[in-house]
Amino acid sequence: MSTPVVVTGLGVAAPNGLGTRAFWEATLAGRGGIGPVSRFDATGYPARLAGEVPGFVAEDHLSGRLLPQTDRMTRLALAAADWALADAGVDPAERPPSDMGVVTASASGGFEFGQRELRNLWSKGGRHVSAYQSFAWFYAVNSGQVSIRHGMKGPSGVLVADQAGGLDAVAQARRLIRKGTPLIVSGAVDASLCPWGWVAQSASGRLSTAGVPERAYLPFDARAQGHVPGEGGAMLVLEDAGAARRRGATVYGEIAGYGATTDPRPGGGRPPGLRKAIELALADAGLVPAEVDVVLADAAADPGLDRAEAEAIAAVFGPRGVPVTAPKTMTGRLCSGAGPLDLGTALLALGEQLIPPTVHVEADPALALDLVTGGPRPARLRTALVLARGHGGFNSAMAVRAAAP
Amino acid sequence: MSGRRVALTGMEVLAPGGVGVKEFWQLLTDGRTATRGITFFDPAPFRSRVAAEMDFDPREHGLGPQEIRRMDRAAQFAVVAARGAVADSGLDLGRLDPYRVGVSIGTAVGATTSLDREYGVVSDGGRLELVDHAYAVPHLYDCMVPSSFAAEVARAVGAEGTSGVVSTGCTSGIDAVGHAVELIREGTADVMVAGSTDAPISPITVACFDAIKATTPRTDDPAGASRPFDLSRNGFVLGEGCAVFVLEELDGALRRGAHVYAEIAGYATRSNAYHMTGLRPDGAEMAQAVTAALDEAAIDPEEIDYVNAHGSGTRQNDRHETAAFKRSLGEHAYRTPVSSIKSMVGHSLGAIGSIEIAACALAMEHHVVPPTANLHTADPECDLDYVPLTARDRRTDTVLTVGSGFGGFQSAMVLARPDRPVRRAA
């Protein structure tokens, strides 16, 4: 049997709360962070709402040397990693460098940084491109910067699978711990709320063009018409369970199981892969469906994708067979940041025995989901399942189990 | 699932000067260089004006008009190479459980060439800060998020298991294959289509490396521009390309009578936690990665017959890894041949790691060690046997390849013969 891997620290940068406490209070209260785009003038674009992380002052967290070489997503990731380590009670300086690593996911890299340098290139010429462009925008930057900041010299990595990638990164962190690295900082933060990122996301045809937050992002609702993009995510500290126990760490819960699949080519007669990913995650966790107490859905808010997700959940758990929720209705979809943030939400829910709600949604009865709407629902929660799907057909599922009392 | 071993049973290489495995290996063993003055755009405004460009017409490789329109050049490479690797393996993927077949594609900079071009359009040449969505191409999101490369490959080969992109800068090509190896070993997959691709020769990439003087300004001598380990080296030459492999669980591969190029016997990665682009001269973390990869393979340093170096040709890198080899291989570092094929095919960022794995497998196949081209004048700080200029016949059963990348990533992989006596469980 493989070593259990547990989460001992959590750092959150979410549109409805900077820091774990603010985020969790807002999430239980059903308070969303979706509003009109403020970071640039979006009034000329079809989509005009976003989930922006409020109140983040990079200068409060990063040195003057780091500021010119970091995109917003890296600044948020560095702060979230700091918080996660502090939350875990871990001082990296006291540990052997090779006993620590970093695995992050990224979807679009430092897109806003890249936008500025592309503009410099196109409007002024190559000599005006920043010396930091060679790494500040690329997908590996957050793992690199976190490893440097905390002196982590063990195995590290970076995975990209659009919105599914955040769970894949945490699964890889678990793999590395099982191979012998005692502590891995993992998770993801994405942020591409700039005109160039907006246009690239809009090109997917999946953004909601609604004008008011309450109508904009309605997964599993007959009125679903696309999603609201957001920025942020979460960083987690993962440790070998035995090592965490020996140092007396507070444990949020165990990363109990994981499964991932890729959808087949459309029109080829093969079923979509989400159901299989769920089954793989449950088998990996040693769980039967009846033991899963809540599902945090991917919640694409695209009618076809919502139906596919509802069918996969019903196929595994039975019609209305498990409570389902989508707290990301309060944050928007965060690309690779979504999976780790949902893991954090799931672990906090296990701790409080409360399922946070899906806001603004009236569940489409045809989907046969027991969707948690209105307010938080008290429930006996021992295990939770987090789902994430990425554009192109990536399906990831991860089961978490409450810490042993 | 302990004890599962991983065989490399299929490959395809698209490299500058060598599109196709045979052409690639011919270029390397001839010691020819494929670097030239940049032709993809006017390089006049830039400091470094040479690159290892590939002559690649997607139509000649079976891609249709819609695929060509939809995919960035690097994705086109990956799909073509994946199809070629599967054909080379002789594996009929249609007969396998598709959930047991996965995809792992490395790329450092994704679709940056498309992003550069499309930004120019939606910004009207950089004039508009609020870029115009009316001019966005429909597949722009696939350029923004490079997991589209893995999605394209998965659909092209019919894989429905775990898939994704590994993006660890210039070690992506080793790490993507290493990731696939781990997935097979742990039992998540039986077959992985794995490799890496990059097509970064665009103004934004040339400009960003210019800005830190990482690429060579030796523009008057394109063929001699990439000079790993030479005293006169002064930066790398940007390249492009792709290599994709079929990796299988070894027993299954042997049962079906597959041709096994090599076993991927060991893999490890470490971070230097030092600097996003800089390297300490001691090579300590790369040495740790090498030692960990050897340990995983249960192979002694003295058994290494050939070291495929990162050898980018920057002042800093070549000194760094020379120290790393001495640290990890001891005296054997002076006895084993070490060479850099970047002297011939340039540095294709995330792609080169897989292209170098291909070179290692071919060295084992042919018992020939590829040379380091353009190495005329020894650097006293680089005092190993770098196989200057001419390929060398040599019994090559066990090979080490390494990579070093921005972000501090240091990776190492060991390839060996699957029928070697195994001292302890791999």
Residue in A with minimal Cα distance to B123: A119
Q: Which domain holds residue A90?
A: 5-246
CATH number for the domain harbouring residue A182:
3.40.47.10
Q: Are residues A224 and A292 in the same domain?
A: no
- With CA atoms as reference, the chain A residue closest to B132 would be A199
Residue A45 phi, psi (nearest 5) = -105, 155
Is A153 a member of any domain? yes
In a domain, A252, yes or no: no
**The one-letter amino acid at B363:** A
| Position A206 in a domain | yes
The count of residues in chain B is 426
* A92, β-bridge pairs: none
Average pLDDT over residues A105-113: 97
Residues A228 and A269 in one domain: no
The count of other CB atoms within 10 Å of the CB of residue A44 is 10
The mean pLDDT of A366-375, rounded to a whole number, is 96
Q: Is B310 a catalytic residue?
A: yes
Whether the pLDDT of residue A146 is over 50: the answer is: yes
End-to-end Cα separation, chain A, in angstroms: 21
Residues A227 and A315 in one domain: no
For position A172, what pLDDT does the model report? 98
List chain B residues with CB under 8 Å of A177.
none
A196/B164 CB distance under 8 A: no
CB nearest to B207's CB, from A126, A148, A200: A126
The reply to whether A332 and A379 lie within a common domain is yes
- One domain, residues A47 and A160: yes
Q: Flag whether pLDDT at B2 surpasses 70.
A: no
d(CA B145, CA B151): 11
Q: Do residues B102 and B163 lie in contact, with contact meaning Cβ atoms separated by under 8 Å?
A: yes
> What is the C-alpha to C-alpha distance for residues A45 and A191, in angstroms, rounded to an integer?
18
Q: What is the mean pLDDT of residues A388-397?
A: 98
Residue B42 sits at φ, ψ, to 5 deg, of -75, 110
Choose the final residue of a domain: A217, A246, A275: A246
Do A317 and A177 share a structural domain?
no
Residues A296 and A384 occupy one common structural domain:
yes
A203-207, B121-125, B344-348: least confidently modelled range: A203-207
Same domain, yes or no: A282 and A191: no
Domain boundary among A220, A246, A272: A246
Evaluate whether residue A327 is within a structural domain: yes
pLDDT of residue B426: 42
Least CB–CB distance from A394: residue in B110, B147, B172: B147
Q: CATH assignment of B7-111+146-413, given 3.40.140.10, 3.40.47.10, 3.40.50.300, 3.30.300.30?
A: 3.40.47.10
Q: How confident is the model at residue A268 (pLDDT cuts 50, 70, 90)?
A: confident
Q: What's the whole-number average pLDDT of chain B?
A: 97
Listed by start position, the domains of chain B span 7-111+146-413
- Catalytic residue selected from B139, B310, B360, B382: B310
What integer is the mean pLDDT of B226-233? 98
Q: Is the dihedral of CA B23, B28, B33, B35 positive or negative?
A: positive
Q: Mind telling me how many Å the CA of A359 is from chain B's nearest CA? A: 28
Among residues A215, A246, A277, the one where a domain terminates is: A246
* Check: complex ipTM more than 0.85: yes
Confidence of residue B58 (pLDDT cuts 50, 70, 90): very high
SS3 assignment, position A50: strand
Percent of chain B past pLDDT 90, that is, above it, reads 97
Residues A99 and A210 in one domain: yes
Q: Of the residues B170, B242, B360, B382, which is catalytic?
A: B170
Q: What is the pLDDT of residues B171-190, one digit of tens each?
A: 999 999 999 999 999 999 99
How many domains is chain A partitioned into structurally? 2
Question: Tell me, what amino acid is at B285?
Answer: E
Each residue of B304-354: pLDDT tens digit?
A: 999 999 999 999 999 999 999 999 999 999 999 999 999 999 999 999 999
Overall average pLDDT of the B285-313 stretch = 98
Mean pLDDT of B226-250: 98
> For all residues of chain A together, what is the average pLDDT?
97
Distance from the Cα of B26 to chain A's closest Cα (Å) equals 33
**Together in a domain, A284 and A358:** yes
Position A251 in a domain: no
Name which residue leads in pLDDT, A268 or B417: B417
pLDDT of residue A405: 64
Q: What is the pLDDT of residues B250-281, one digit of tens each?
A: 999 999 999 999 999 999 999 999 999 999 99
Bridge-based pairing of strands B398-404 and B306-308 is parallel
Distance in Å, alpha carbon of A329 to nearest chain B alpha carbon: 22
CB contact under 8 A, B208 and A133: yes
Same domain, A104 and A186: yes
Question: For A139-191, what is the HEC assignment?
Answer: CCHHHHHHHHHHCCCCCCEEEEECECHHHHHHHHHHHHHHCCCCEEEEEEEEC
| A213, A153: one domain | yes
What is the token pair recorded at B385? Answer: 């046997």
